[in-house]
Structure formats: structure tokens, C-alpha cells
Amino acid sequence: MIPAKFDYAKASSVVDAVRLLADGGEDAKVLAGGQSLIPLLRLRLAAPTLVVDIGGIDEMRGVRDDGDVIVIGAATTHAEVLADPLVNEYASLVAKATGTVADRQVRHRGTFGGSLAHGDPAGDLPAVAVASGAVFDIAGAAGRRQVAAADFFVDYLTTALGQDDVLVSVRLPKRRGWGTHYEKFNRMAQMWATVGVAVAVRRENGTIAEASIGLTNMAPVPVRAVGVEAALVGANATEAAIAAAAAHAAEGTRPTTDVSASADYRTHMISVLTRRAVVSAAGLG
């Protein structure tokens, strides 16, 4: 299909983008890589009167070191994230999950921030952001603010971003000495995750000292597998202990039934994938 008619504006800065969105009102939309918005426009599931292009704003591109964190610009493409040495050294979970996003063509056009701002619970990066303790830098008409990943995802396809807000960058704590893994199941290559698990663990003297686990597509928003985390911390880093902890994976989740899978199937699969992901992150398999 052909999108409905809309006006186009290319923002020159973050301040300019916020102004354009404010002037455009509730029917203005942000365009970065276009991998989420363009399909919605073509299907006429979205019909904005104004599209604000933020892809050329330098402040929103690239990865930089900022002391105890690394900062990823929201308009940085998935391919750029994958190739960045800071991401691979300090945020390996982000790199591993990003490598599974769609296909190479999408990864070369789609953006890190765009995927997060879209807020799809079947997307790979929201659960990774939650498991990584990410903090979102947001600019709006009232100024700048920071929102933790746990508070950023509000409901299905709904985030803490207001109408005139722009996601500028994402701050990720540096995690040295952590093992990470992202495991997902989908019905065919390049499709959204039926379910997925983002795992980061730190081992110490044969036990799991810290664990952070985010679940993909097990609720309208990404959720922490707090039951698994509690069972893992202090436990011996063995496959038996991990299997026992993974049995808690579905606790507190709200999986749906759709054309990809039933809620019961998702409940079963999340325990299976959690066990696999923790085993890999802990260096046992």
C-alpha cells in the first residue's frame, strides 16, 4: 500500500527535533532508520501529518566512553553497535542480542534507539536493556531527563516518551567479568521472537554472585525474571542448580496466545531457554 500524505522535516539538532515535534502536535512522528515506522505507514496503521527525521543529528550517533558507563546514541545503527569495540568489551549482552535482530539489511538501516522507542515486547533489545540496567536520556520541551529501563516500557507499544520527546541516547553500565548470552526462539529466521531470554551473570569462587535476566515477549513489556535471579545468586554454578532456578522463569509473567504460540507453550519454552542461556552465560556449555 501507499502511505497517507504527510509533511517531512529534517531536524538539525535535538532541540530542533523537539521543537518540530511540539509544533506538529499529536500526529507528528519521529523517523530514524525507518524499520519500525515505514511498515506502519505502508499498511496505514499509522498516518502522521508530519514525519521528523532525526537520522542526521550528530549528538545521537555513535558510541562513547563516559566513565563507568558507555553511551550509545539512539540513532546509531545496529550494524554500528555490533562493530563497536566499547560495546563488545563492556556490554557484550547488547552485542549478542543485536546480532540476532532481523537480517543484515535491517541491521544496516535500523537504529538502536528506534528499536527501543518502538516498545514492541517481541523485540530483542527491550529485554536486553532491562537486564543491562540501561538508563535512557530523553529530551523534551521541559528539558532533559533520565529514565531507567525498568520504568521506560509502560505497556504494549507504549513507552515513557511523550509526544514531543526524543530518545537521545542510552547509558549502559560497564560490566567487566560478566558472562552474557541471548537466546531466543522464533518460527523462522528474521521473525520476531516468540520468546527470548537475555542473561548476564557474574561468577565468583564457583558460585553465581550476581544475575540479571530479562524476558522477551512474556508480557506487554519486557520483564525481569526475578525468581530465577534470586534462585541463582549464591548457588553453585552447576547445570543442576541452573535447571532448578530456570523452573521459576515464568513466575510473574503474562504471556499471550497468538498465531505464533499459545501462552502455555511460551510458559514452557521460557524455562527451557532460560536454562540454556544461563548455562552458556556461566561458561558451562
d(CA 218, CA 230): 19
Set of cell numbers at residue 210: 550476581
Q: Let me know: does 225 contact 274? Beta carbons within 8 Å.
A: yes
Which residues does residue 137 pair with via DSSP β-bridges, in sequence order?
Answer: 146, 169
**Which homologous superfamily does the CATH classification assign to the domain defined by 179-281?**
CO dehydrogenase flavoprotein, C-terminal domain (3.30.390.50)
Mean pLDDT, residues 157-176: 97
**Side chain identity at 177, as an amino acid letter?**
G
192 pLDDT above the threshold of 90: no
163 pLDDT above the threshold of 70: yes
Q: Could you tell me which CATH number the domain at 61-173 has?
A: 3.30.465.10
Task: Give the lowest-confidence range in 52-61, 123-132, 180-189, 249-258.
Answer: 180-189
Backbone angles phi, psi at 124, to 5 degrees: -80, -35
Set of cell numbers at residue 123: 523485540
pLDDT tens digit string along 59-83? 999 999 999 999 999 999 999 999 9
Architecture of the CATH domain 7-53: 2-Layer Sandwich (3.30)
Share of the chain above pLDDT 90, in %: 91
Q: Let me know: does 266 contact 217? Beta carbons within 8 Å.
A: yes
Q: What is the pLDDT of residue 26?
A: 92
190 pLDDT above the threshold of 80: no
Q: Where are the domains of the chain?
A: 7-53, 61-173, 179-281
Q: What is the pLDDT of residue 263?
A: 98
Q: Let me know: does 189 contact 106? Beta carbons within 8 Å.
A: no
